[in-house]
């Protein structure tokens, strides 16, 4: 295993801030951040067959079938920008995806799991205020991360909208699904002493500070 080639896997309930924090860590470490949710939403924006199939599950808050996610990840993981390390957001998400990833990467990278802890009530509060860009996928929050112009994306000036799976009834299903599938990730991280656990119920900048502090020794 090469200690300099780091992989950080963000996991936590929906709306815990995985995407927000993995993007900031990506900028800080100059490593690519990959979100399987975003890869899947991009396939939907492009109206591909794979995107259409995944949409059937995603709008109900169910996990997309492993074969779809693995096809996307296999393609993404072979890109050259992955050589020095990378950040994963929302993958792996269950035991089968974890086993696949470890088979592929375990001997080549130093793998750390970053758990972002947030309670259910805060998840519902956050996701009711999230707005995403329908064109480029950039994410905002009405209160905690407002766009500069109300209702418009800072990146491409397109319209912002509520994510289809952010409706409260769907969020509740996503939360219970997360609880049912995340246990193997936590167990693996604890057993192998690879867990970085973060209190996600703090302001965005404080969560970022805590993450940067906890990984400082690994990246120096
Ligand atoms: P995905 O997009 O991964 O959704 P998720 O895991 O449910 O997570 P979210 O994107 O909802 O939230 P987040 O934790 O990234 O929080 P964010 O930073 O955006 O997956 C969507 C769907 O795709 C899944 O349900 C599934 O169907 C499918 N899928 C994806 N990966 C899959 C896989 N591996 N296998 C099978 N299916 C898969 O923040 C949320 C909001 O809160 C934002 O508005 C943000 O501005 C705000 N915010 C962030 N941090 C804070 C803070 N500290 N304080 C206040 N507000 C904050």
pLDDT tens digits for range 78-115? 888 888 899 999 999 999 999 999 988 888 899 999 99
Q: Is it the case that residue 196 has pLDDT exceeding 80?
A: yes
> Distance from the CA of 1 to the center of ligand 1, in angstroms?
30
Q: Tell me if 20 CB under 6 Å of ligand 1.
A: yes
Could you tell me if the CB of 95 is within 6 A of ligand 1?
no
Mean pLDDT of 25-48: 95
For the sheet with 195-199, list strands across it. 33-35, 85-89, 6-11, 110-117, 195-199
Residue 150's pLDDT band, with cuts at 50, 70 and 90, is: very high
Rounded-to-integer distance, Cα 65 and Cα 4, Å:
33
Hey, what's the torsion of the CAs at 11, 172, 51, 21, to 10 degrees? Answer: -30
Cβ atoms of residues 21 and 207 within 8 Å: yes
What is the share, in percent, of the chain residues with pLDDT greater than 90? Answer: 86
d(CA 39, CA 42): 5
Q: How confident is the model at residue 210 (pLDDT cuts 50, 70, 90)?
A: very high
Which of 10, 12, 13, 15 gets mutated to test ligand 1 (max ligand atoms within 8 A of its CB)?
15
Phi, psi of 88 (to 5 degrees): -115, 135
Q: What is the secondary structure of 83-129 as a DSSP string?
A: TTEEEEES-S-SHHHHHHHHHHHTTTSEEEEEEEE--HHHHHHHHHH
Which residues, 6 or more positions from 9, have their beta carbon under 8 angstroms from its beta carbon? 87, 88, 91, 92, 111, 112, 113, 114, 185
**Which atom of ligand 1 is found nearest the CA of 130?**
44
Instruction: Identify the H or E element spanning 50.
Output: helix 49-58
pLDDT value at position 220?
79
Mean pLDDT of the chain: 93
User: Does residue 182 contact residue 11 with C-beta atoms inside 8 Å?
Assistant: yes
């Amino acid at each position: 295993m090469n200690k300099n080639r780091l992989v950080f896997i963000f996991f936590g309930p929906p709306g815990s801030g995985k995407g927000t924090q993995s993007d900031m860590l990506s900028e800080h470490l100059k490593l690519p951040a990959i979100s399987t949710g975003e890869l899947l939403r991009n396939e939907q924006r492009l109206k591909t067959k794979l995107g259409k199939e995944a949409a059937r599950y995603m709008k109900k808050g169910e996990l997309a079938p492993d074969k779809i996610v693995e096809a996307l990840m296999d393609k993404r993981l072979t890109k050259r920008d992955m050589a020095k390390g990378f950040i994963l957001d929302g993958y792996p998400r269950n035991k089968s995806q974890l086993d696949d990833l470890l088979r592929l990467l375990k001997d080549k990278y130093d793998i750390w799991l970053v758990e972002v802890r947030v309670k259910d009530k805060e998840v519902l509060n956050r996701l009711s205020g999230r707005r995403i860009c329908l064109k480029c996928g950039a994410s905002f929050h009405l209160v905690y991360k407002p766009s500069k112009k109300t209702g418009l994306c800072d990146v491409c000036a397109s319209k912002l909208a509520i994510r289809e799976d952010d409706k409260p009834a769907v969020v509740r299903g996503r939360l219970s699904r997360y609880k049912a599938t995340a246990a193997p990730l936590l167990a693996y991280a604890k057993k192998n002493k690879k867990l970085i656990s973060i209190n996600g119920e703090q302001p965005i900048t404080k969560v970022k500070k805590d993450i940067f502090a906890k990984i400082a020794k690994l990246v120096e």
